[in-house]
Chain A
């Protein structure tokens, strides 16, 4: 009897995990980096590997940092949205090309379109670690003072863009210094 109950016991444990999984939101991670300064980096530019680029050059601008890679399947899903955003000139998008082969990355952009003002090469993934990247793609919204204000894990969706990303950008662009109350309201309403 005991021996034949093993499958049942295993299943009960699994079901427990699945139940716990339901209340989790795989796409929303409470990032310890939110409302902290974005970690500094200095990396090679994808289109010109002889030049370095640092995030300090972006102080005074609201910008998006999009972590992408040519091997990342989900990136292809969100890519048209980014291209569209770039075309509308909503906000400059900077790409962190994560653990990727630069030649393949360039080819990928050629094929799918390049929404990035600039992409930088994080070949070893060190900057990714600094930013606490869990999976690709991820998108950070960074304000004029270089603070991370919002983060999206996984591919951006149309709804997410409309409900979260664009409103957060709007608050950041309009208020200086940042209207923290309005920001947290927007972020709360979109995560529900």
Chain B
């Protein structure tokens, strides 16, 4: 009964989204106020129905209803409760339901946090989001219904893929989808602006916080995914240039370009067409990612069970969404004015150059991901493009981008002078060059690429400190340096923090790729080995029984200078239902290093092959991405957005009846 209720709720959500997609847009174009007013309640009703549907699916997982085919495929009665819930999005059907749920979350968020926007703008934005919803509801209902019954019911489920039975995987997909789907808001704003012809600084200001929030979720999602791959796949690597990883990385690159381009459009009114195009591209790449992962055109470790029929459906959605929006762009963009002029040496130029670099990098990833497919369709054979291609292409593109990251925020808008920039950045240049040369020497081994890496990281860090210092010295705020810095606008501090995060990330990557030590060895009980200043003693393997697996658990005591640091317990698990062996690495996480131990195969009586890694600064990789995301969060809390919204709300309220004023004030108090 509950699954049928869920299905029914989903059908109702589709019906509401059809209304949401058509009536408000038509109303905005024709000027019917009552039609425009439908946008917000429709988005909210749609969310209620899709949340109900999702709740029903969660319930069927919780009560182990194996008469539902999807539950029988993904879950098992022995599966712990938290994985039963995360199993909801462990397969294709459920993860698509999560996709539409999150689209619902973003829609209701727009409907609630848009009190300061003109109503016709909100109507268009929510209308576009409604149209996207229609497409995806149809996709779920017609090709991937998670509520399909299984007759006769299965006695027990096939269990969740053991790789996915992990805390990191509980939150990774929701985060990632919040990012992917969140770009639909920026997209909807862009389309709304093209439809209304109001492509101006106000539009950029409205869509900026939404884009930043989507970007920060995507950043977190990718970071979590990389972290999961690091500790769960047992390979010790953190990025593999796998097509599915690329599918999430491409919108990130494009979204990063979009954020910076929006800043220019808001501040200077330039790059309007370019920004709109980026907004369209960013969401298009999110859709393309969905297509690549689920259609079976590419093979990947992460790919979902694929089905050409679904692929054709998503491709149709893709063609409709992107095709229509690009047509709209081709039609409307020529009428958009050029905005403020700027000089060759200016902040605009620096940002534009970085934009181009990010987009070329994104195109390179796209080419690498699709190249096998392109050659294949041209009948030119089948090949696979591996990490060597991506590594070779990526570094030369990112090095100048990172260089400009420091120059852009220092340069003046419109017209900057090279001598001025040089003078202001001279200390950053000196410090970063010296540190870049010295750090590898201090670490014990010099190399050109690692030296470049450190130079870049220190270059960005120094420039961030210089910017903060300059601002603090100019500030009129009272108090010490710290309070002067705190008094700066949050958007500026957020930018500093995000850039700082990039520097932290670069240090992590450079350190790990240059100074990682690994050792593979056969260890008898009692054997010891030394690595990175630590002593590892193997104390044998015991049998352990988990809820749905049996494991061999190794015990390795780690000592430093004779003092026990930690005891590591790597496991080799066999999950009983799928009889799939899994390596659970044991990791001792530290600020400056990770100790990573994974168990190989039993060699002979009591002896095992053991792999030990010493990974310096590896957590800085994810720490850096986390700091970047935090920077995004700081930026969206900027007073500017709240101040503007309060003023706008006041003006709007003054023009309206008293009753509406009360409700607007109510919302304002809620927000603060």
On A, residues with C-beta under 8 Å from B are 1, 3-5, 7-8, 11-12, 14-15, 17-24, 26-27, 29, 71, 73-74, 76-77, 80, 83-84, 107, 110-114, 134-135, 153-155
Contact = CB atoms under 8 A, between A and B. Distances in A.
Contacts of A84: 579
B308 A4 contact: no
A87 to B, nearest CB: 11
Given A21-B373, A73-B240, A74-B301, A7 B326 contact: yes
A74 B241 CA distance: 12
B379 to A, nearest CB: 10
A18 B301 contact: no
B301 A77 contact: yes
20 contacts: A4-B330, A4-B333, A5-B330, A7-B277, A8-B323, A11-B323, A15-B323, A17-B373, A18-B291, A20-B377, A26-B296, A29-B382, A73-B242, A110-B520, A110-B609, A111-B600, A111-B611, A135-B382, A153-B382, A155-B301
B600 A4 contact: no
Main secondary structure of the interface of A (DSSP, over half): helix
B384 interface: yes
A52 to B, nearest CB: 27
A107 B520 contact: yes
B318 A15 contact: yes
A154 B273 CA distance: 43
Interface in B555-589: 579-581
A134 B382 contact: yes
B601 A113 contact: yes
A71 B579 CA distance: 25
Interface string B400-436: 0000000000000000000000000000000000000
Contacts of A29: 382
A74 B300 CA distance: 7
Given A18-B315, A134-B384, A135-B384, A154 B299 contact: yes
Interface of B: 233, 235, 240, 242, 273, 277, 280-281, 284, 291, 295-299, 301, 308, 311-312, 315, 318-319, 322-323, 326-327, 329-331, 333-334, 370, 372-374, 376-377, 381-384, 386, 520, 522, 579-581, 598, 600-601, 603, 609, 611
A27 B299 contact: yes
A29 B372 CA distance: 13
A18 B288 CA distance: 10
A172 to B, nearest CB: 26
Contacts of B580: 80
A154 B376 CA distance: 15
A85 to B, nearest CB: 13
B273 to A, nearest CB: 7
Given A15-B323, A135-B383, A8 B329 contact: yes
B609 A80 contact: no
A26 B299 CA distance: 7
Contact of B297 (A5, A7, A22, A74): A22
A60 to B, nearest CB: 31
B359 to A, nearest CB: 12
Contacts of B370: 14, 17
Contacts of B609: 110-111
